[in-house]
Amino acid sequence: MDAVRPRTVASGLRWRRTLLVTVGLTAGVDLVLWAAAPGLFRALPTAYWIMAVLAVVADAHPHPLPGRRVSRVILPSVCFTFAIALAWGFVPALAVQAVAVAVAGVRMRHPVPRSIHLGLQHAAGLAAASIVAGLASWRIGARPGLGDAALTCAAAAAWIAARYCVAALVRRWTSERRTRHRRRGRADLLATAALLLLAPLLLVAAQVSPALLPLSLLALHAVHRMVRWAGESERATRVDSLTGLPNRRALQSTMSDRGPDRQRALILLDLDRFRMVNDALGHGAGDRLLARVADRLTAAVPRHDLVVRLGGDEFAVLATRVEGTASARRIAEHLTEALSRPFPMDGTPVELTASIGIALQSGRRDGATLLREAETAMYEAKQRGDQVAVHGPDAAHDSPDRLALLADLRAALRQDPPKDGIVLYYQPQIAIATGEVIGVEALLRWRHPKRGLVGPEELLRVAEPTPVMRLLTARVLEEVVAQLADWRARKTPLRAAVNVSARDLHAGDIADRIGRLLREYEVPSDLLQLEITESALMTDPHRVLDTITRLDRMGVAISLDDFGTGFSSLQHLRRLPLSEVKIDRSFVLGMAGDRGDAAIVESVIGLAGSLGLRAVAEGVEDEVTWRLLAATGCHAAQGWFHARPMPADELAEWLARYRPIRPGVLRGPWIPAK
């Protein structure tokens, strides 16, 4: 509180000075006008003074439209001052307008330059309207005709044109940033025209009886409601209702407004483990936490930068003054530091971190591409376990070849019906003790129309850092579950294992999607197994744990793939609901000739057995390895020693001729299926 008090006092002193200067300037303008034509003001009728009072009263509640520009302010006084200009000339109208603008400026706490800017616009409008009326020597009588209506429209058009010409000149002179929102412009123009065209009605009412003039406040109230509705409607489409920040649509519109030689950075933040807050404290507390995150991010960036809530627990900052990657990284680190302080929630300090992706915009690159690149970098940061990643021209995934392949994959996945060349191969998994086929692993292939067969490693390397991965996983899951249903109908039920990425597990809806597929195809949940990697666990373990716990409760088995590589941790084996551990092929391939690899494989098999988990070895390509695995008690194996991956129809033929052979009775070299 002590830190806030001096700032509050200084702000109050500044505002009092602004108020005094505004009142002084207004009084000076009116005194000059009065001194220039004292006889004119003494001769003005009662109707003029009533309109003057009503103009000032109306501007005690001005109507600002959405936006920060002065030209977005609609003053209700314009209908009275426009009528005064038509009836009694420019000088009396300007005297009233000066007071009305000052009242509006005080009401909206405008600084003095902004009030002067607004006053100049309205003075120019009144001057243009007075010139049109003077050229026609026109005054509205008690019975206005068609010509009066035409001249009123002409004077109103001159008023509007002059005002917005002055606004454009001042904006260019002050280098104020332009915004392009056609809907706002239409609402602005419609409200201004409605107010101006009330003027002849006021003059007719004044000639009948000045006592009728206060009734015009009802019409002004209707215009006020219209302007307010337009503003709220525009705000609802461009502002996040929870945090009050601009939303995704506002960000895209801002990014489309590019200036010459301007470099900007889009910094995308995804809160880590936010779902844990919702689960522990409730969704109400989660909403309050998001609002506090929004406030802290807004306070951490300069006023010229834009803070946006994209949805869920994703935020973005559009930094408009960056000098390159290093500058953007400094901003990201500043945001990380701002979020590192605990958030007090109902007496409980909540710690938050965020994964941040950065994309730089320069030249003619569009906003949609920038947002996609920032999201790709953010997921790359999650996968690496880093807080910040930059999407730049030196990144491997930025090569034109990669981007073209990704675009082709996205287009292929959206084809309906699917004729995209994406196919699934299945590799059998063999129980070592009995030699029986206990399941298969589904492996992805893509027959690209120009590149030929694209392997799973390249396919996943391109897709996994992007939203395309979720489309790909959805496609694979549906095809695998449909194939399981087909095998079950043919009385040859098999269990199929499917690899899922970190992005799929972070989304959280994969459990619901799998549940719908199993119900739709009437497939028992124990026929489907999901394989996850340790890298997926490292990025956001709490969110992943929640997802795989739901899958385990549904009866879907979870296998920890590539165990022993990357970020191996025994914590995963102890606390995750796993059914199986897959030993990485890099150890299995070398175990026959490398004592270290053999020791690692034997240790993993023993550890899995003691925890009640199956141990499956990948990359079994010869009889020696097969026998070594049998001797160490490994449960199952897969590899080219038994069969290569094959399409579903070839797998059916292979199964028909396959005869289980135990390791103890193998004689001679095994001839693998082609």
**Which domain CATH number covers 439?**
3.20.20.450
Q: Is residue 666 part of a domain?
A: no
Same-domain pairing of 49 and 187: yes
Same-domain pairing of 59 and 142: yes
> What pLDDT, on the 0 to 100 scale, is given for residue 94?
84
Same-domain pairing of 543 and 628: yes
Look at residues 184, 210, 238 and tell me which one is the last residue of a structural domain: 238
What's the average model confidence in pLDDT over 345-350?
A: 79
Q: Is residue 407 part of a domain?
A: no
How far apart CA 515 and CA 525 sit, in angstroms, is 8
Q: Which of 238-247, 282-291, 560-569, 659-668 bottoms out in mean pLDDT, i.e. has the lowest?
A: 659-668
Residues 6+ apart with CB under 8 A from 183: 230, 234
* 3-class SS letters over 357-370: EEEEECCCCCHHHH
The pLDDT-based confidence of 63 (bands split at 50, 70, 90) is low
Task: Please provide residue 453's backbone torsions phi and psi, each rounded to the nearest 5 degrees.
Answer: -75, 120
Same-domain pairing of 279 and 253: yes
C-alpha 526 chain-centroid distance:
37
Same-domain pairing of 632 and 563: yes
Look at residues 195, 215, 238 and tell me which one is the last residue of a structural domain: 238
> What pLDDT, on the 0 to 100 scale, is given for residue 234?
64
Same-domain pairing of 274 and 393: yes
Same-domain pairing of 471 and 537: yes
Burial of 296 (0-12, 13-18, 19+ CB in 10 A): middle
* Consecutive H or E run containing 547: helix 541-554
Nearest to 495 by CA among 505, 507, 483, 506: 483
> What pLDDT, on the 0 to 100 scale, is given for residue 522?
93
If one counts every other C-beta atom within 10 angstroms of the C-beta of residue 43, the result is: 11
The yes-or-no verdict on residue 112 having pLDDT over 70 is yes
Q: What is the DSSP letter of 464?
A: T
**Which domain CATH number covers 353?**
3.30.70.270
**8 Å CB contact between 583 and 618:** yes
> What pLDDT, on the 0 to 100 scale, is given for residue 257?
63
Same-domain pairing of 494 and 623: yes
Higher pLDDT, 256 or 476: 476
The yes-or-no verdict on residue 564 having pLDDT over 50 is yes
Q: Going by DSSP bridges, is the β-strand pair 306-311/264-271 parallel, antiparallel, or unpaired?
A: unpaired
> What pLDDT, on the 0 to 100 scale, is given for residue 396?
45
The yes-or-no verdict on residue 184 having pLDDT over 60 is no
Higher pLDDT, 18 or 618: 618
> What pLDDT, on the 0 to 100 scale, is given for residue 144?
56
> What pLDDT, on the 0 to 100 scale, is given for residue 363?
59
Q: Going by DSSP bridges, is the β-strand pair 496-499/437-448 parallel, antiparallel, or unpaired?
A: parallel
Q: Is residue 600 part of a domain?
A: yes
The pLDDT-based confidence of 528 (bands split at 50, 70, 90) is very high
* Consecutive H or E run containing 96: helix 90-107
> What pLDDT, on the 0 to 100 scale, is given for residue 146?
63
Task: Please provide residue 564's backbone torsions phi and psi, each rounded to the nearest 5 degrees.
Answer: 105, -10
How far apart CA 78 and CA 83 sit, in angstroms, is 8
At position 484, the amino acid (one-letter code) is: L
What's the average model confidence in pLDDT over 629-633?
A: 91
Look at residues 238, 269, 286 and tell me which one is the last residue of a structural domain: 238
**CA separation, residue 509 to residues 34, 274, 416, 543 (Å):** 73, 15, 23, 11
> What pLDDT, on the 0 to 100 scale, is given for residue 408?
79
The pLDDT-based confidence of 277 (bands split at 50, 70, 90) is confident
Q: Is residue 413 part of a domain?
A: no
The yes-or-no verdict on residue 357 having pLDDT over 60 is yes
Higher pLDDT, 212 or 124: 124
On the question of a cis peptide bond just before residue 467, with omega within 30 degrees of 0, the verdict is: no
Total domains present in the chain: 3
Alpha helices in 358-509 (DSSP H): 367-384, 400-413, 456-463, 468-489, 502-507
Nearest to 218 by CA among 231, 205, 235: 205
Same-domain pairing of 592 and 465: yes
Q: Each residue of 307-341: pLDDT tens digit?
A: 999 888 889 999 887 877 888 888 888 898 888 88
Q: Is residue 222 part of a domain?
A: yes
Same-domain pairing of 568 and 435: yes
Q: Which of 149-153, 154-158, 183-187 bottoms out in mean pLDDT, i.e. has the lowest?
A: 183-187
Same-domain pairing of 342 and 211: no
Say how many residues make up the chain: 674
Residues 6+ apart with CB under 8 A from 672: 640, 641, 642, 643, 644
Q: Is the pTM of this model over 0.75?
A: no
Query: Which residue bears the tokens 């000032």?
Result: 56
Same-domain pairing of 252 and 232: no
The yes-or-no verdict on residue 461 having pLDDT over 70 is yes
- The domain of 125 spans 4-238
